[in-house]
Structure formats: structure tokens, C-alpha cells
Structure 1
Amino acid sequence: MSSAAPERIFAGLGLRLLSVGLLASMQALVKLAEARGASLPETMFFRQACAVPLVLAWIAAGPGLASIRTRRIGAHLTRTIVGLMGMVCTFGAVLLLPLAEAMTLQFTVPIFATILSALVLREPTGRHRWAAVVLGFAGVLIVAQPGSGAFPLSGALVGLLAALLVAVIAILLRQIGRTEPAATTVFWFSLLSLPPLGIVYLFNLQPHDPATWAILVTVGLVGGLGQLAITASVRFAPVATVVPMDYSSLIWGIAYGWLFFGTLPAEGIWIGAPVIIASGLYIVYREHVLQRRDTDRAIGD
């Protein structure tokens, strides 16, 4: 069994770190745009509209425009609906919470993915991963401190719902990915989301100063580049190798929160975030161990 060359592994890790920085920057820009009067529908529309040319250019330079043909438009439509709901909740959590807190709640995606894999896909889930799920939710309680009033409950619920929807998207992408290249999936999500977002945007048109327009356009460009970097990262390195890089977004969240909004994480973050991260890393590790065991058995057979 051959393994990926070290230079490809490093390229995958570098692209994943780049994607984390870009997407964290996008979320900071979303919060800045809202502070300057832009609405959530506006930021969502610009996020997708400005990303489409980037995606098309990427496809044209890579697999070619012919690769966007699909016979699974229904599956792409379902992914788009869930994706838009996830984007609403992700951006909503960023607007309702400080950046570091919003990003910490995003770390619960592996926890929800484990639960959904067991309940929906009926995949075997051992006691190790269930223990990690319990540990992860204990970390959420430490961060949220329910009843203390230190953490907006509405923001916490929206953030957790965003993580749940992202986990649902991961399962949908796993199913779509059996027949569709990643570039095709990215293209159809970007394209199919524009009509509903455009209709909503028409009811939210409002004037802005040049700086705010520039921020809205940059939201789309930076977000699109971040999405492409994520997609490219798994072409060079296994998912289990690059996913731990996602937790570096907390560093970006703390830095942007302090630089742009003068906020620092609450005390619960410093304890709860490492607990959630440890839970997610262990889930990824266990999945990697089980996949390698299955591969070894298949080779043995």
C-alpha cells in the first residue's frame, strides 16, 4: 500500500491552514459589515455571488468546464438548501457572539457528525467515540455556562445548530462525492444558491459607503478562496491529517476579536475550548484507526 509523498502532505496541510485563515477572515468581515449597517441577506448574497467567478476560473484551469455536467441535480439542490440554512446559522452565530466563541462552537461539527453517522447512516460507533461525544458536550457546557448570563443563549443555540447543519452537509457531500467531483459540487452549490439569495437581497437593498461595499465584495472573494483551499487540501492529504488544522481558527478568532472589536474570550473559553478540541481530535483519530484497520483487513483478504 503506497502512501502520499511528504511534499503532498505538507501541501495539503498548508492549504488547510490557508483555508482556515481565509474563512476566519471572512467571518470577521461579516461582523464588520454588520457593524457598518449591512444585513445578513446582503452578506450572504455577496458571499456567493462574488465566489462564482472564482469557482468557474478554478474549474476551467483544472478539470475543465465540461466537468460541471451532472445527472444528480436533485442531490445538489438538497445540498444547497441545507447549505444555505447552515450559512444563515453560521453567519448568525458570528453576529450574535464574539468571534472566538462563535468559532469554538464550530468545533462541535465532528461530535454531531458522529451522532448522525450512528443514527442516520447506522454506522457502527464504539464506546470510544461515544465517550468523546459526551466529553465534547461537557466542553460546550463549560463554554456556554448556562444560567450564568455570561454567554448569550440565543447565540449558543444558533451556533450549535450551525454545527449540526454542517455535519449534515458533510454526510450529504460524502454521498454526492461517490459520483461527483468536488469542483462540480462547489460550482452547483454556488450557482443554485444565487436565485433565492438574489430574491431575498432585492428586499434588503440599501445604500452603503464605498468601504462597506468593498467589505461585502471581499467577503465573497475571501470566502470563495477559502472554500477552494479546503477542497484542494484533501486532494493532497488525507482528511484525518488536515482536519486538525481547523482548530487553528480559534487563534484567528481571538486575534480578530481583539483587533477589530476590542473583545477577548470569556473565561469559560480557555477551559471549554481545549475540551471540545480534544473531543474532536479523538473522534478523527478513532475514525482514522478504524479506516486503516478496514483497509488492512481488505488487503489481507
Structure 2
Amino acid sequence: MSATATTDESNRPLVGIFFILLGMVAISANDMLVKYLSDGYPLHQIVFIRSGIGIAISLALVQFEGGWAILKTRRPGLHILRGLLIVVANLCFFMALAVMPLAEATAIFFVAPLFITLLSIPLLGEPVGPRRLIACVVGFAGVLVMLRPSAAGEGPGLLVSLLPVLAALCYALFQIMTRRLGGLSKASAMAVYLQGVFMAVSLAFFAVAGDGRFAEGVDNRSLVFLFRAWTWPTADDWLLFAALGIASGVIAYALSQAYRSASAATVAPFEYVALPLAGLWGFLIFGEIPDLRALAGIALILGAGLYVLARERARDRPRRDARPIRR
């Protein structure tokens, strides 16, 4: 791929914004469906079925974007590592969803932009000013506000409440790698790699724990969700699994396309659309209403994240105007 082609594909802000909004709608539906199904099926079965449908969609998109040849990559190891990061992020977040309110788990997950800011110092060598560092402190303070009941022995428990934080850390690393690899692979090919890693990890879980023996005598709902025995879905649930698979295919393609079409500073703020959507699903489907403590924590995380992304956008604009993006 020529430098000019890479630059053109990396400077399409409207395309990036469209795909990130599409991805956030799909993610909110995906999270709601996973939480809804978490009482009857193990997490690795849900992930396997949704990824099996998702990879079929992604392979169809591969044909549209250039055929089987685009699946070739010079960096298979990095794609596998990227896939494992998002697998860990998803598993941690979904385990939390089985126990936590949807809006609260989603809000805690949105410390990911703060992690991206902090990780950009050692991984990308980028300078981070004091105002963004203070915003990061404010955002993590919001996490502490939301974790306080769990730390005091109330709610789902501290370890479960920390799962979205670990998910956010893995997601931040995933996005940094997405930007690095975006100029070298088509979005559909990157989606196939992701779905393939999801299926491989799910099959490994099935081989080790598919009979449910590790869930016997366990009281922790998150662990039961992870290790419960596989169950053949009912006819009605197959429709939900189909919707979950479609959402998975849309997510994998849309996120890859968004971050390879525009800079993270342009795209990332629109990820926060997922937060009100999570609150809406939580209220409509599960009857969840955040209390004042949760709302205060959400406000701190939301404000800090948006401020950091605004500063990133301000820093990114003169660099884009001055020279083409390099890979």
C-alpha cells in the first residue's frame, strides 16, 4: 500500500465518526443481550456462538473489500496479541455484567481513554501535560466513588467491580495496536482475526470446562457465568443469539474501520454515546436506576474522559495540518 493511499484512508473523519457511532449502538445491544442471557448459558458458549455468526459476516465483508488475499498479513503475531487483548477485555467486562448494573459497569469501563493517555507516555513516547494528568486523577477518583460500596463489603464485591477496570486497560492497549495496524490491514480482515481469536479461546474453555465441573459449589455469579456447563439454546434464545452474532460482526468491523479511517482524537469522543444507551437498556430491560453515588462517579468519569479527549483533539489538529500521518 502506498503512503498516499494510507494517508487518504486515515483522514476520513466523517467515515470514522459514522462507524464509531454504528459500533457503539451495536456494542450497547451486544452488552444488553449478553447480560440477558447470562442466567442460562456460560460466557464461553455465548462468545463462541456470537463469534461464529460474526466471522461469517466478516468473511462476507472480506469478499467485498478485496477477496481472500487481504487476509494475508506480515504481522500475524501482533494480530493475535491484539485479539487476545480484546478477548480478555470482553471476558472481564461480561463477567462484571452478570452481577453489576449495566450503566455502572459501562461507566467504569470508560476509564479506557484515561488509560490510553497514560499508556501513550511509555508506549508511544508522547508528552502528557499536567492538565490531562489531573483529568486522569479526577476520572479514577470517579471509579473509586463507584467502587466504595464494594470495598465496604456491599454490592457485587470489590474484585467483581474491578473487572471493568481491567477490561478498560486491555481495551486501551487494543486500541493503541489498532491504530498501529490500521494502515496495514483492511477492517474486514482485522475483524476476521478478532473473531477467530474469540472462537479459539472459547473452544479452549469448552475443552477444559465445558461440562460445568468448575462451577459446582461456586457461589460467585461471575465465576458461575464463566464456567457453567454448555446448554443447547431454546428456539426463542436462538433468535437472541442470532442478534448477538450480527451485533458482534458489526462491532468488529465498525471499530476497526473507525480507527483506521480517522485519528483517535476525532473518533474516541463518540464512544461515549454507549453510556446513555447502556442506561436506557438497563432501565428498559432490567429496571436498573443508578443511585446518587453512581451518578456522581459516572459524572466524574464522563467529564474527565471528555476533557482528555478534547485535549487530544486540540493537540492532534496542528499535527494533522502540518504533515501527513505516518505509519
- TM normalised by structure 2 equals 0.81
User: Please, which of 97, 101, 119 is the counterpart of residue 98 of structure 1?
Assistant: 101
Deviation at 1:235, TM superposition (A): 5.9
Query: For the residues of structure 2 that align with 1:10 and 1:121, how far apart are their CA atoms?
Result: 26
Q: Is contact 2:20-2:267 (8 Å) kept?
A: yes
Write the letter of the residue equivalent to 1:265.
P
Higher mean C-alpha deviation, range 213-222 or range 51-60: 213-222
* 1:240–1:175 Cα change, 3 Å: closer
Deviation at 1:78, TM superposition (A): 1.5
The equivalent of 2:271 in structure 1 is 246
* Identity fraction in percent: 29
The equivalent of 1:21 in structure 2 is 25
Gaps in structure 1 of 5+ consecutive residues: none
Query: For the residues of structure 2 that align with 1:150 and 1:87, how far apart are their CA atoms?
Result: 22
State how 1:68-107 maps to structure 2 within 5 Å: 68-107=71-110
Q: Is contact 1:28-1:256 (8 Å) kept?
A: yes
Query: Does structure 1 residue 184 correspond to structure 2 residue 209?
Result: no
Query: For the residues of structure 2 that align with 1:182 and 1:19, how far apart are their CA atoms?
Result: 13
- TM normalised by structure 1 equals 0.87
Higher mean C-alpha deviation, range 94-103 or range 192-201: 192-201
Deviation at 1:93, TM superposition (A): 1.8
Q: Is contact 1:86-1:165 (8 Å) kept?
A: yes
* 1:158–1:264 Cα change, 3 Å: same
Query: For the residues of structure 2 that align with 1:298 and 1:248, how far apart are their CA atoms?
Result: 31
Dislocated runs of 4+, deviation >6 Å = none
Higher mean C-alpha deviation, range 162-171 or range 11-20: 11-20
Higher mean C-alpha deviation, range 177-186 or range 123-132: 177-186
Query: Does structure 1 residue 51 correspond to structure 2 residue 54?
Result: yes
Secondary structure of 1:180's counterpart equals coil
The aligned length equals: 292
Q: Is contact 2:16-2:258 (8 Å) kept?
A: yes
* 1:178–1:208 Cα change, 3 Å: closer
Query: Over aligned residue pairs, what C-alpha RMSD do you find?
Result: 2.4
Higher mean C-alpha deviation, range 86-95 or range 187-196: 187-196
* 1:212–1:298 Cα change, 3 Å: closer
User: Please, which of 283, 288, 300 is the counterpart of residue 275 of structure 1?
Assistant: 300
The equivalent of 1:153 in structure 2 is 158
Secondary structure of 1:38's counterpart equals coil
Write the letter of the residue equivalent to 2:97.
V
